[in-house]
Amino acid sequence: MQIDPDTNHNKRDLTEETGKSTGTGKAAAGLLGVPARKIRTVTSRISAAAVKISDKTKAAAAVLVLLASVAVLAYETGALRMINGSGEDVRPYTQQISVCRDAAAGSALGVIETGTEQTCRDSEERLESEMDKVTAALREEYMEILDSGQGSSFHPASQAERLLFERVREKRKEVLSKDPLLLLVNKWHYLPEDYTADPVTLPNGQMIGSECYEPLMEMLEDCAEAGGNPIVCSGYRPHNKQVDLFDAQIDRWLYAGYEQEDSEDLAATAVAIPGTSEHELGLAADIYSSENMSLDESQVNTFTQQWLMENCWKYGFILRYPKDKSDITGIIFEPWHYRYVGKKHARKIQEAGICLEEYLEETDHPEETAEDSEEAESLDGEQEYDQAEPFYGY
């Protein structure tokens, strides 16, 4: 392409040629979501100045790198607006952005002075490296927001930030979905048909998944050493056992004169519908204090439960059904039901004060009243547990 400073046609050719480049300028503009009209306006202005340079390579390279600089500046505006809104220290970010901007400006000058292809490649690599640092810092910030359960209430300030935030969210969800310790089972998410547990027997005859046997034993021993009296009254429950229990409850109501559909609904108030109980996972344990064998809210008054609720996360467990989360979990407050999720996730859930559904961003459920949730658990407080005859509810 020959550059003729007197023709607009060549300005357009230069812009198109630059746009086809695989250089950082175009990549950055696309990644950061810089509005197309800004790209066109800035490119037009830079092209008008660039055509005055006699060497085509210098001109095209200058347009490429300067365009990248514009993308960085646009990124800076949006990023700082978001970061400032969070009330955090913005200095680490501004330092990275300044380095990034300086790299772009220095690269442009170097390309214009030398016009060599190697200089252009070096400039692109340097700019790309600095931009990666800024993007990595934002990704880490977004991950912390999502881990704290605040993803649904967080609103990025610009389209570029929204796109990056959604990519981080999708990647996080993909990773969490592959972690077997985070498998979600509730009335809206049934146990996968091909799921198989690996139960082992506890000293008192109850069973628990092998993944959490050692952490559970360590937690129980430490609780006892601290002065508690923890007893696992219900652990792993095979699916066929859950089916038998549920069917037995249905038979009770049928015998009492109720119709099939009503009997099933009433049975679900005492025994979890097969496939919706965490006990089938092998990762859940109902633990009471030997001083109080009633599984109701009175458990929260025992030293055992107070210690467990405060320390369970250190062993990889969470209190699965916290207070004031019934509208999300579908289950009333159960200060005895603990779920193993692993130490890393348990710490994050504990620190954020959220439930598993919030951590996994699975909070959208079919409409259901709080009264319905309470009815489904209404018999919990009417049963007393002991090791010989554990409760087979949720």
Residue where a domain terminates, one of 152, 177, 202? 177
| Phi, psi (deg, nearest 5) at residue 116 | -85, 150
Q: Are residues 147 and 161 in the same domain?
A: yes
Residue 393 lies in a domain: no
Q: Are residues 141 and 201 in the same domain?
A: no
The number of domains in the chain is: 2
Q: Are residues 140 and 242 in the same domain?
A: no
Number of H helices, E strands in the chain: 15, 6
CATH number at residue 364: 3.30.1380.10
Residue 394 lies in a domain: no
Residue 310 lies in a domain: yes
Amino acid 332 reads I
Q: Are residues 232 and 362 in the same domain?
A: yes
Residue where a domain terminates, one of 177, 203, 218? 177
Name the residue among 133, 121, 160 with its Cα closest to residue 36: 160
Listed in sequence order, the residues at least 6 apart from 30 whose beta carbon sits closer than 8 Å to its beta carbon are none
Q: Are residues 105 and 192 in the same domain?
A: no
What is the spatial distance between Cα 144 and Cα 86, in angstroms, rounded to a whole number? 12
Residue 342 lies in a domain: yes
Token output for 333: 């407050």
Q: Are residues 364 and 240 in the same domain?
A: yes
Residue where a domain terminates, one of 148, 177, 206? 177
Domain that holds residue 280: 182-382
pLDDT per residue as tens, the chain (394 positions): 333 333 344 434 434 433 433 343 443 334 344 444 444 454 455 545 544 545 555 555 555 555 555 555 555 555 555 555 555 555 555 555 566 656 655 655 555 555 555 555 665 566 566 667 777 888 888 999 999 999 989 988 777 788 889 999 999 999 999 999 999 999 899 999 999 999 999 999 999 999 999 999 999 999 999 999 999 999 999 988 889 989 999 999 999 999 999 999 888 876 789 999 999 999 999 999 999 998 899 999 999 999 999 999 999 999 999 999 989 988 889 999 999 999 999 999 999 999 999 999 999 876 654 344 444 443 333 333 333 333 334 5
Residue 387 lies in a domain: no
Name the residue among 59, 32, 57 with its Cα closest to residue 46: 59
Q: Are residues 190 and 134 in the same domain?
A: no
Residue 352 lies in a domain: yes
Q: What is the pTM of this model?
A: 0.67
- Catalytic machinery residues: 334
